[in-house]
Chains A and B, each alone.
Chain A
Amino acid sequence: MSTGTGAAPVNVQVVPLERTWWQRHGGTVTVWISRVVLVAVLLVLWEWTAGRVFDPTFTSRPSDIWTKLVEWGADGTLWTNTLITIEEVLLGFAIGAAAGAVAGFVLATLRAVYRVLDPFIMALYAIPKVALAPLFIIWFGIGLTMKVLLAAATVFFLVFLNTAAGVREVDRGLIDAVRLMGGSRREIAVKVILPGAMTGLLTGLKVAIPYALIGAVIGELVASNRGLGYLINDSASQFDTAGVFASLVVLSVIAAILNLGVTMIDRRVSRWKPLEEK
């Protein structure tokens, strides 16, 4: 190659923008204010209608739920049971996601094997995971293992299917490009298929979060003496609707925190995606 003088650099005009704080963050702030207002309005409406329109025995009221949360918080009920559920969710999510990601990546890379197994996998996927609970109780008893595996079973399929789809959608041209660079099968797997499938894997993880929670709580509802699912069951059997709602509030907080975590990973991994049109 001749060295030459170098091509003329591409010019891009960068224009400094005078944007006020509000122009830059106004959209986000408006959305957040609207959210807070919406929640406040709903809570006030609920508090006001309870006892006037609805029977608080059935609907409870936000102040009662708050009192219940404080009471449980003080005597430790809240923390021990929440920790148990979180432990089940995290373990189930981790086991299911790891197994699903590895299986999805390996099986989708081996196309022939995937074609053979595809109908069986779909059949297993279609089984409502709640239906597995009795079987898991027989196998593992009513302890932690049963809930963890119930959560993992659901997470596994969601992560597996999304990862496999991600692998199969990797652009053939990119694989050829690496072959042209003299890349081996291993390099193709690590440098093209793995990052290419990342979007699918993350979608799977994101979709699976609520299901990990569902799996664990259903396990607790079916058979247990600890955890938020047990707390719901126990409160309901005593006609304590405030207790049921308090447990539900804690569950949604856990789901929101898990979601935030995945969004943060997503942002870190997907920096190469197109810039947002502004």
Chain B
Amino acid sequence: MNALLEVNGLTKQFVKDDVGILALRDLSLSVQEGSFVTVLGRSGCGKSTLLNLVAGLIAPTSGTITYRGEAVTGPRTAIGYLTQSDTLMPWRDVRRNIEMPMEIGGVPAQRRAELSAELIERVGLQGFERHFPRELSGGMRRRVTLARMLIGGPETLLLDEPFGALDAQLRADLQAELLRLWQGSGQTVLFVTHDIDEALLLGDRIVVLGRLGKVVCDRPIDLPRPRDADELRVDPAFVALHREMTVALKKGAEA
């Protein structure tokens, strides 16, 4: 398989007053098409910056990002990005929020309605079509955001701690839903998290980032699928991986 996404010598520096603040330094990473890669790192290691760069929202200070051999210079609809914060339009109801990418893509209203109805059902929000974001719980808003991202039919998903703000039970539910939606879809996923359990449960491959996006560990996760969170916790292979990741995170923080 060819690398779908290729990141080479990526450096990002933000300017604040007279100093440059380095967020990422010389990061290289390549992602195969159809794989589920989890990026594990402590907060402030440049994970979100990496996704913002890959999504084309900000430009790198130096280094290159190529997607299907093409340089990334701006956002593209083939890449769906679920950010950490809520970015639903508060003045649009659930249905109109989900339809928004298609509205911009110029899809006719009738087709939009069909697709959004299908997605609303898939993420389990039937009956909430006319609700506004502020009338929904955090978990439901996440589902709406997820549906909005999926409706454009992106081939690559960037997920930035998408379930970070949710309670443990809901997070487990949505993780299972994400896996169910992903399996067999052929989509490539880059999933950023600071939670070792989550990273091991979801990914085919795990990349641990240390300070300034230094790759301290990059290995496949060879746990058999489907994975069950409760069974996994007592699986010796999982426990060994978990320990390895804890060490890697610690090493990354010192480096």
The answer to whether A181 and B104 have CB atoms under 8 Å apart is yes
- Which residues of B lie under 8 Å from residue A4 when comparing CB positions? 122, 180-181
Q: Contacts A181-B105, A195-B91 known; A173 to B85 CB distance under 8 Å?
A: yes
Cα distance A244–B25 in the bound complex, in angstroms: 75
B217 to chain A, nearest CB (A): 30
Q: Contacts A9-B127, A10-B128, A271-B132 known; A174 to B104 CB distance under 8 Å?
A: no
The answer to whether B104 and A178 have CB atoms under 8 Å apart is yes
- Which residues of A lie under 8 Å from residue B139 when comparing CB positions? 10
* B183 closest partner in A (C-beta): A2
Cα distance A8–B139 in the bound complex, in angstroms: 13
User: Which of B74, B103, B122 touches A7 (beta carbons < 8 Å)?
Assistant: B122
A28 to chain B, nearest CB (A): 23
Q: Taking the complex as formed, is A187 at the interface, i.e. its CB lies under 8 A from any CB of chain B?
A: yes
The answer to whether A181 and B134 have CB atoms under 8 Å apart is no
**Interface magnitude class on chain A:** 20 to 34
- Which residues of A lie under 8 Å from residue B122 when comparing CB positions? 3-4, 6-7
Q: Contacts A1-B187, A174-B87, A179-B75 known; A7 to B81 CB distance under 8 Å?
A: no
Q: Taking the complex as formed, is B83 at the interface, i.e. its CB lies under 8 A from any CB of chain A?
A: yes
* A171 closest partner in B (C-beta): B87
The answer to whether A182 and B77 have CB atoms under 8 Å apart is yes
The answer to whether B123 and A176 have CB atoms under 8 Å apart is no
Count B interface residues, CB 8 Å: 48
User: Which of A8, A9, A195 touches B89 (beta carbons < 8 Å)?
Assistant: A195
Q: Tally of A-B residue pairs with Cβ under 8 A?
A: 97
Q: Which of A1, A178, A274 has the most CB of B within 10 A?
A: A1
User: Which of A9, A178, A191 touches B126 (beta carbons < 8 Å)?
Assistant: A9
The answer to whether B180 and A2 have CB atoms under 8 Å apart is yes
| Residues 7-27 of A contacting B (Cβ, < 8 Å) | 7-10, 12
Cα distance A273–B77 in the bound complex, in angstroms: 30
User: Which of B83, B89, B124 touches A10 (beta carbons < 8 Å)?
Assistant: B124
Q: Taking the complex as formed, is B90 at the interface, i.e. its CB lies under 8 A from any CB of chain A?
A: yes
- Which residues of B lie under 8 Å from residue A7 when comparing CB positions? 122-124, 143, 177, 180
The answer to whether A174 and B83 have CB atoms under 8 Å apart is no
- Which residues of B lie under 8 Å from residue A8 when comparing CB positions? 124
- Which residues of A lie under 8 Å from residue B92 when comparing CB positions? 272
Q: Contacts A176-B87, A195-B91 known; A10 to B140 CB distance under 8 Å?
A: yes
The answer to whether B83 and A173 have CB atoms under 8 Å apart is yes
Q: Taking the complex as formed, is B135 at the interface, i.e. its CB lies under 8 A from any CB of chain A?
A: yes
- Which residues of A lie under 8 Å from residue B75 when comparing CB positions? 179-182
Cα distance A187–B77 in the bound complex, in angstroms: 15
Q: Taking the complex as formed, is A165 at the interface, i.e. its CB lies under 8 A from any CB of chain B?
A: no
Q: Taking the complex as formed, is A183 at the interface, i.e. its CB lies under 8 A from any CB of chain B?
A: yes
User: Which of A177, A182, A183, A273 touches B87 (beta carbons < 8 Å)?
Assistant: A177
Q: Taking the complex as formed, is B226 at the interface, i.e. its CB lies under 8 A from any CB of chain A?
A: no
The answer to whether A2 and B91 have CB atoms under 8 Å apart is no
Q: Contacts A8-B124, A174-B89 known; A2 to B181 CB distance under 8 Å?
A: yes
- Which residues of A lie under 8 Å from residue B90 when comparing CB positions? 272-273
Q: Taking the complex as formed, is A275 at the interface, i.e. its CB lies under 8 A from any CB of chain B?
A: yes
Q: Taking the complex as formed, is A192 at the interface, i.e. its CB lies under 8 A from any CB of chain B?
A: yes
Known contacts A173-B85, A275-B135; 16 further A-B pairs (Cβ under 8 A):
A1-B150, A7-B180, A8-B124, A10-B124, A10-B139, A171-B87, A173-B86, A176-B57, A177-B89, A181-B100, A181-B104, A182-B77, A182-B104, A191-B89, A272-B91, A272-B92
Binding site for A on B (CB under 8 A): 55, 57, 74-77, 79-81, 83, 85-87, 89-93, 100-101, 103-105, 121-128, 132-135, 139-140, 143, 150, 152-153, 177, 180-181, 183-185, 187
Binding site for B on A (CB under 8 A): 1-4, 6-10, 12, 171, 173-174, 176-183, 187, 191-192, 195-196, 198, 271-275
13 contacts between A and B (CB under 8 A): A6-B124, A8-B124, A10-B140, A171-B87, A177-B87, A180-B79, A180-B81, A181-B100, A181-B104, A181-B105, A182-B105, A191-B103, A271-B132
